Amino acid sequence: MTSISVQDFNLLRQNEALNILDIRDSQDFEMGHLLNAISLPATSLPNELNKLDKNATYYVISYSGRRSEIIANFLENHGYKAIHVIGGMRDIKQLAA
């Protein structure tokens, strides 16, 4: 599985349009998310895989990065390209502060 630091992820997303998969629950997503992020809660993901494109690369974000690592592995095991964002939204918010 591929991982990326929050710092490298932030630099990359400033220069490229990325497929950002936010796996937090919908309430957390509504309280704040990255521009153009796709909300697909981890609990719904197994039933919603058909919404994802196997030709796309997804940057998977959770709150702290723990669940995103698990989900990125899950996606890769099902034939998707997924990159785990280490530190998640918690660290992204700290960078912005």
- pLDDT tens for 54-63 read 999 999 999 9
Q: Please, what are the domains in the chain?
A: 2-96 (3.40.250.10)
- pLDDT tens for 72-97 read 999 999 999 999 999 999 999 888 76
Full-model pTM: 0.95
- pLDDT tens for 13-65 read 999 999 999 999 999 999 999 999 999 999 999 999 999 999 999 999 999 99
Strand locations in the chain (E): 2-4, 19-22, 38-39, 57-61, 81-85
Q: What are the tokens at 10?
A: 């932030």
3-state secondary structure of 42: coil
Dmax (CA) of the chain = 36
**CB < 8 Å & 24+ apart, contacts of 43-49:** 45/71, 45/74, 46/74, 49/78, 49/80
What is the structure's pLDDT at 97?
A: 65
